[in-house]
Structure 1
């Protein structure tokens, strides 16, 4: 990784489940940048997504974090995604 401005995007999939909610956050070095929260309801499928543009230094760590006691739906069809790319160096 190089020092620069980066774009990150993530999406989650939640389906009807007895677990109350899907709560996923985009994190940078342990700091929450943004969150997607989806409440299970009478509809069977929901998607949520969010994105950020942030400056990063060499050694910074960006990742998504599923909140404790929450779930996202996964049946190996890649509904949940996380991606990022460098916009420009600084």
Structure 2
């Protein structure tokens, strides 16, 4: 039965393909043969571009970052995953190695009981895209957000701490930034 799903060449040089169910048989002309041969192999091809990263603010210890008088790029130093090396832990900046659709997530948070919120923009090149924001009077509060972006080769994405807000991190990595290539375009 498995061989029934493979293309077979007919006498008139057409390709016959069994699609979806055994009772649906489609025949294509020889001009379509090359196209359908490629289409049948496509699901088995692997995407060559592999890009994914996850990073936390601190490698060790615990610390508040902020409040600062102006918006500041957060530099995530703890990088357990950096497939493709597109994230730079020295600058906090992700640089797109291929044109494609990418998905990003970021989490911000801090201990409550102070007068400062936690807020951070996800920035594409110089444009603020989406913000994660929280303010908590007691206990620990956090916020997260996510976005899918079409990036060109060389576009940069990073997280920017909003002026006069703060974040707290420790060995539990409460503040993170992650992203991955969904598919090239």
Q: TM-score, normalised by structure 2?
A: 0.46
Q: Which protein is richer in strand relative to its size?
A: 1
Looking at both structures, which has the greater relative contact order when contacts are Cα pairs under 8 Å and sequence separation is at least 6? Answer: 1
Look up the SS of the partner of 1:18 in the other structure. Answer: coil
Q: Which runs of 4+ in 1 moved over 3 A?
A: none
How many residues in Structure 1 have an aligned counterpart in Structure 2?
89
Specify the structure having the higher radius of gyration (Cα).
2
Q: CA deviation at 1:77?
A: 2.5
DSSP 3-state at the match of 2:165: coil
Q: Deviations over 1:34-56 (max 9, x none)?
A: 00111121x31112110001100
* More helix per residue: 2
Cα RMSD for the two superposed structures: 1.2
Q: Where in structure 2 are there 5+ consecutive unaligned residues? A: 1-96
Unaligned runs of 5+ in 1: none
Whole-angstrom CA distance in 2 between matches of 1:33 and 1:71: 19
TM-score by length of 1: 0.91
Contact 1:36 1:50 in 2 (8 A): yes
